[in-house]
Amino acid sequence: MLIIGPPGSGKGTQAERISARLGVVAISTGDIFRANVKGETPLGLEAKQYMDNGDFVPDSVTNKMVRDRLLQDDAAEGFLLDGYPRTTAQVDELHDILAETESKLDVVLQLTADDDELVKRLRGRALEAGRSDDNTAVIRHRLDLYHEQTEAVVARYAERGILTKVDGIGAIDEVTNRVMDAIEVARTT
């Protein structure tokens, strides 16, 4: 399973809830990058320069990280990807990774939200968490990148008939209920 949506749409929160309810591992590229940045690993230092500017970390780095993660034992019985793929090249790489393990995506959930609401959410998160990648200019840049690149990813999954859109605006529990209902409908069709 894959959860996709613009920055601030609640992907991380909903991924944790889906993971807990369905008993599958949630794999967040953002969390992995932030852990590497905090640990000042070579990958983290490279990723930080892109993240601080609101740019995507290059596919070569991201693809290797995701490939390694999906080959770990806890992902063998199912997983939920959060934050990957973000480009059509990453869609192709994910397809190749899954083919190697004789797996496939069953559901792609897209959380939707208005850009102005997302800016408001992300500015609030920046104040609470002190995240350097959540100033207004960087937020707008990240949203522009999402619209330019990631929407093509959404279109690819829509063409495959596995995309389910869910409104990401509202109380967390309300959104979770919509997400779980959407997953149930997607699994039975």
Burial class (CB in 10 A: 0-12, 13-18, 19+), 162: middle
Which of the following is catalytic: 67, 131, 140, 178? 131
pLDDT tens, the chain, 189 aa long: 999 999 889 998 999 999 999 999 999 988 778 877 889 988 788 888 888 887 878 888 888 878 888 888 999 889 999 989 988 999 999 999 999 988 899 999 999 999 999 999 888 887 887 766 568 888 898 899 889 888 899 999 999 999 999 999 999 999 999 999 999 998 887
Is 142 assigned a catalytic role?
A: yes
Look at the block and give the residue holding tokens 């959860």: 3
13 assigned to a ligand binding site: yes
Q: What is the pTM of this model?
A: 0.83
Is 140 assigned a catalytic role?
A: no
Which of the following is catalytic: 125, 156, 165, 178? 125
Is 178 assigned a catalytic role?
A: no
Residues 141-174 have pLDDT tens digits of 889 988 988 889 999 999 999 999 999 999 999 9
List the domain boundaries for the chain. Answer: 2-182
Residues 94-109 have pLDDT tens digits of 999 999 988 899 999 9
Secondary structure (DSSP) of 6-63: STTSSHHHHHHHHHHHHT-EEEEHHHHHHHHHHTT-HHHHHHHHHHHTTPPPPHHHHH
Is 67 assigned a catalytic role?
A: no
121 assigned to a ligand binding site: no
CATH code that applies to domain 2-182: 3.40.50.300
29 assigned to a ligand binding site: yes
Is 123 assigned a catalytic role?
A: no
57 assigned to a ligand binding site: yes
